[in-house]
Structures are given as C-alpha cells and as structure tokens.
Amino acid sequence: MISLAAGSTSGKPSNQNFLDPKVLGIEEHFLSNGLRVVTWEDHSAPLVTLQVAYHVGSVNERPGITGISHLFEHLMFKGSYKYGPEEHANIVQANGGRLNAFTTNDMTLYYENIAADKLELVISMEAEREANLAITAENLKSEREVVKEERRMRTD
C-alpha cells in the first residue's frame, strides 16, 4: 500500500496512509432508523454528490427469477405520491444537476450531482420516492419490458 507524508520531501513512505478515512476527513454516522450516512467535505467546487446505496442486487435473487433489483432501480424513476413519472429527474436537471443509477451483483446505487445549495431538495426527493414509490401495474409492465430489453442487449 502506498502512503505519503504531507510535506515530506524524502519520497519515503510514512506511517500515515493517505487512503485512511480519518486523514481524508471522511465521517460516518448512524441515524436512529439504522441509516448509515457517510460524509466527505471537499470545498474545491460548490457542488454536492448525494449517493443512496441499497445493499441489494442480483446476488439476492433466486435462480430463474432474476432482474428484480434492476426492475426496482427503474421503478424509482417512475414517480411517487408527490412526484410524477420522471419528475424527480426533471427537477434535478432543471436545477443544473445530473443523476443516474446502476445495479450490480450486490448493490443498487442512485446518485445526484447538483449545486450544493440544492442538497436539501435532493435529500427530500430521495426520501419521498423511498417512502412512497408509485408501484402500479402500468409501471411494472412498462419497466419489466425495458429491463428485459436491456438484459437482451447487455447480457444475453
């Protein structure tokens, strides 16, 4: 492992690992509801990245019944009680931000990159869609077809 000492001119590794979360200023907190919050401040630009990770992916699915994690990744963009289909994405983009999501073997992650003064907005929208996801027969049918097509294009 590589480690560097701040201000060292000898080029020799120090005992202080530059990847140590404490050295980088990474902090971890746990909310009363069990949510783990990890923060890292970098004031080099007036931007914020919010990432919401769910520890669920294809590893949690049964053989022959796959794609459910990916399907729910898509459903998270189909609206909630408060926001209509794609409205979450439209609001982020109207505020100059970018967002997307992906599902891997063991995780589904959503992210928004946006101006720092919009952090409260994106946190509230994430909370809304997590609590009040619009799971309708119409949304399930349309997104199931999208996920099946993505699987045909990327996997099969």
**C-alpha count within 13 angstroms, C-beta hemisphere, residue 38:** 8
Note if 73 is an active site residue. yes
d(CA 72, CA 154): 18
pLDDT tens for residues 106-156? 999 999 999 999 999 999 999 999 999 999 999 899 899 988 888 888 877
| Dihedral class, residue 62 (left if φ above 0, else alpha if ψ from -120 to 50, else beta) | beta
Contact in structure between 58 and 68 (CB atoms under 8 Å): no
What pTM, to 2 d.p., does this model score?
0.79
**Which residue of the set 28, 41, 73, 145 is catalytic?**
73
Could you give the maximum distance between any two Cα atoms of the chain, in Å? 65
CA angle 82, 150, 101 (to 5 degrees): 45
